[in-house]
């Protein structure tokens, strides 16, 4: 039931983005029932005029999350009442967990602070509650610029070329924060399917982990989406520098149907449920959130500005030029997906938690 509902949301979003790109002007009609009243818009404009909105990125510069944030920041302000400046700063730490903990507890709750972070961080209260000091159901989600299919890949010199290979021999992969998705994906695949990944955690972000793979410190990486790979390492797939051998998602990328899903290798219903839980955050692949409790009219304005930006031809043009995959997920839909995730049966959560935390040093 959970997977079916999430897949339906994902499929709807794919179709929706096509329509937004074809008929961007129709967005105003679509948003009309949710638009701020003139009085509320003026109040919000009075607040934002002359201010700066900061988007903090919980990973290092140069990776996919950083690129999505910087392109969004160039256009978001033009759609916010009062036209505030929008800037980006990097605040790496544990894949974004440090940032999200601060977002929940200490960052200003006035609508001038947003954050983006590894999607898997939103599973932290389920999988590593001792480290997570936030309730994702209380965060103020603005939206996500993408839904995604993550991958596991190996460097061209590695012996592992296919999913079948990693059942037989070890593949050393780089990881980021202790329970970020670059670590949790391979650990859960090991526990549920019997693969032989060895995770080396601690890289500040995906870009650093990929540099480590190039240097020969590691042999692979498990979390990049196809579009991010092309954006930050153009030509790697074309030139066969990497072998992309499995997709970590509820459904395949439409452009890469030849690459199998990890779900295809599940032997039991329980195995499938465990994999579905860990890959479900790919439906909100680039989340943008404000702290809990910001004024309702400012959250409405941020959500409306985000949705308008997702249909802005200038934004879409730059995203395409930078090879960023854009598929809007609204803040309201992100709330709904998280409610379903947090209704996962406790025994499935416990199994995934044990896999994620295996070998984690405290």
Average pLDDT, the chain: 88
List the end-to-end C-alpha distance of the chain, in Å, as a whole number: 35
Give pLDDT, residue 111. Answer: 98
- How many alpha carbons fall within 13 Å on the CB side of residue 275? 26
Highest mean pLDDT among 91-95, 116-120, 310-314: 310-314
Position 178 confidence tier, pLDDT thresholds 50, 70, 90: low
Q: Are residues 68 and 25 in the same domain?
A: yes
Give pLDDT, residue 232. Answer: 86
Q: Is residue 358 part of a domain?
A: no
pTM above 0.85, yes or no: no
Query: Which tops the pLDDT comparison, 233 or 24?
Result: 233
* 234: exposed, middle or buried (Cβ count in 10 Å: 0-12, 13-18, 19+): exposed
Q: Are residues 105 and 194 in the same domain?
A: no
Q: Residue 6 pLDDT more than 70?
A: no
- Mean pLDDT value across residues 169-182: 86
Q: Residue 33 pLDDT more than 50?
A: no
CA–CA separation, 2 and 347 (whole Å): 15
Q: Is residue 165 part of a domain?
A: yes
CA–CA separation, 149 and 145 (whole Å): 14
Q: Are residues 188 and 97 in the same domain?
A: no
Q: Are residues 204 and 229 in the same domain?
A: yes
Q: Is residue 6 part of a domain?
A: yes
Domains identified in the chain, total number: 2
CA–CA separation, 178 and 96 (whole Å): 11
| Residue from 350, 362, 360 nearest 179 by CA | 360
Q: Are residues 97 and 201 in the same domain?
A: no
Query: Which tops the pLDDT comparison, 129 or 357?
Result: 129
- Mean pLDDT value across residues 90-109: 93
Query: Which tops the pLDDT comparison, 298 or 27?
Result: 298
Q: Residue 180 pLDDT more than 90?
A: no
Position 23 confidence tier, pLDDT thresholds 50, 70, 90: very low
Domain that holds residue 47: 2-147+284-348
Q: Residue 16 pLDDT more than 90?
A: no
Instruction: Name the domain boundary from 256, 281, 306.
Output: 281
Q: Residue 228 pLDDT more than 80?
A: yes
Q: Residue 266 pLDDT more than 50?
A: yes
Give pLDDT, residue 77. Answer: 98
Give pLDDT, residue 323. Answer: 84
Q: Are residues 326 and 208 in the same domain?
A: no
- Mean pLDDT value across residues 196-208: 91
> What is the token pair recorded at 323?
């090879």
Q: Is residue 361 part of a domain?
A: no
Position 9 confidence tier, pLDDT thresholds 50, 70, 90: very low
Q: Are residues 214 and 328 in the same domain?
A: no
| Residue from 237, 240, 198, 192 nearest 221 by CA | 198
Q: Is residue 113 part of a domain?
A: yes
CA–CA separation, 272 and 265 (whole Å): 9
Q: Which of 11-15, 146-150, 162-166, 340-344 has the lowest mean pLDDT?
A: 11-15
Q: Is residue 227 part of a domain?
A: yes
Q: Are residues 218 and 233 in the same domain?
A: yes
Helices vs strands, H then E, count in the chain: 15, 11
Q: Are residues 308 and 182 in the same domain?
A: no
- Mean pLDDT value across residues 13-33: 37
Give pLDDT, residue 2. Answer: 43
CA–CA separation, 334 and 337 (whole Å): 5
Q: Is residue 56 part of a domain?
A: yes
Structure-token match 């509650």, residue found: 129
- Mean pLDDT value across residues 349-358: 89
Q: Are residues 13 and 29 in the same domain?
A: yes
Q: Are residues 199 and 305 in the same domain?
A: no
Q: Tell me, what CATH number does 7's domain have?
A: 3.40.190.150
Q: Residue 34 pLDDT more than 60?
A: no
Instruction: Name the domain boundary from 231, 266, 281.
Output: 281
Q: Residue 3 pLDDT more than 80?
A: no
Whether 146 contacts 65, CB under 8 Å: no
> What is the token pair recorded at 64?
């996919």
Position 81 confidence tier, pLDDT thresholds 50, 70, 90: very high
Give pLDDT, residue 39. Answer: 85
Judged by phi (left if over 0) then psi (alpha if -120 to 50, else beta), residue 188 lies in: alpha
Q: Tell me, what CATH number does 276's domain have?
A: 3.40.190.10
Give pLDDT, residue 360. Answer: 52
Structure-token match 């008929």, residue found: 23
Q: Return the SS3 of 23.
A: coil
Q: Residue 154 pLDDT more than 50?
A: yes
CA–CA separation, 155 and 211 (whole Å): 11
What secondary structure, in 3-state letters, does 97-156 show? HHHHHHHHHCCCCCCCEEEECCHHHHHHHHHCCCCCCCCHHHCEEEEECCCCCEEEEEEC
Q: Are residues 28 and 47 in the same domain?
A: yes
Q: Which of 17-21, 27-31, 192-196 has the lowest mean pLDDT?
A: 17-21
Distance (Å) of CA 195 to CA 45, 151, 296, 348, 360: 54, 15, 46, 19, 18
Q: Is residue 35 part of a domain?
A: yes
Over the stretch 272-292, which tens digit does the pLDDT of each residue have? 999 999 999 889 999 999 999
Judged by phi (left if over 0) then psi (alpha if -120 to 50, else beta), residue 82 lies in: left
Instruction: Name the domain boundary from 245, 265, 281.
Output: 281
Distance of CA 178 to the CA centre of its chain: 17
């Amino acid at each position: 039931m959970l997977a079916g509902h999430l897949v339906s949301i994902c499929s709807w979003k794919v179709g929706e983005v096509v329509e937004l790109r074809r008929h961007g002007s129709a967005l105003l009609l679509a948003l009309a029932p949710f638009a701020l009243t003139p009085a509320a818009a003026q109040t919000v404009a009075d607040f934002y005029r002359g201010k700066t909105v900061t988007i903090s990125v919980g990973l290092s510069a140069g990776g996919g999350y950083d690129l999505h944030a910087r392109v969004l920041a160039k256009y978001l302000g033009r759609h916010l009442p009062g036209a505030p400046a929008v800037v980006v700063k990097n605040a790496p730490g544990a894949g974004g967990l440090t940032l999200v903990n601060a977002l929940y507890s200490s960052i200003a709750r006035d609508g001038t602070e947003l954050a983006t972070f590894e999607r898997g961080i939103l599973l932290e209260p389920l999988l590593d509650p001792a480290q997570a000091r936030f309730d994702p159901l209380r965060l103020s989600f603005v939206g996500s610029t993408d839904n995604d299919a993550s991958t596991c890949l190996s460097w061209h010199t590695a012996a592992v070329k296919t999913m079948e290979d990693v059942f037989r021999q070890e593949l050393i992969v780089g990881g980021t924060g202790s329970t970020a998705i670059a670590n949790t994906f391979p650990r859960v695949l090991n526990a549920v399917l019997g693969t032989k990944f060895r995770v080396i955690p601690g890289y500040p972000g995906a870009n650093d982990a990929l540099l480590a793979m190039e240097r020969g410190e590691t042999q692979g990486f498990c979390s990049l989406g196809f579009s991010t790979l092309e954006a930050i390492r153009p030509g790697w797939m074309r030139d066969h520098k990497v072998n992309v051998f499995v997709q970590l998602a509820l459904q395949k990328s439409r452009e890469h149907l030849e690459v199998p899903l990890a779900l295809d290798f599940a032997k039991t219903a329980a195995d499938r449920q465990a994999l579905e839980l860990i890959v479900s955050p790919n439906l909100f692949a680039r989340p943008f959130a404000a702290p809990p409790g910001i004024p309702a009219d400012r959250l409405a304005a941020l959500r409306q500005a985000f949705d308008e930006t997702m249909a802005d031809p200038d934004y879409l043009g730059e995203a395409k030029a930078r090879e960023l995959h854009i598929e809007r997920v609204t803040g309201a839909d992100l709330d709904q997906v998280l409610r379903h995730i947090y209704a996962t049966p406790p025994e499935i959560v416990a199994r995934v938690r044990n896999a994620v935390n295996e070998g984690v040093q405290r």
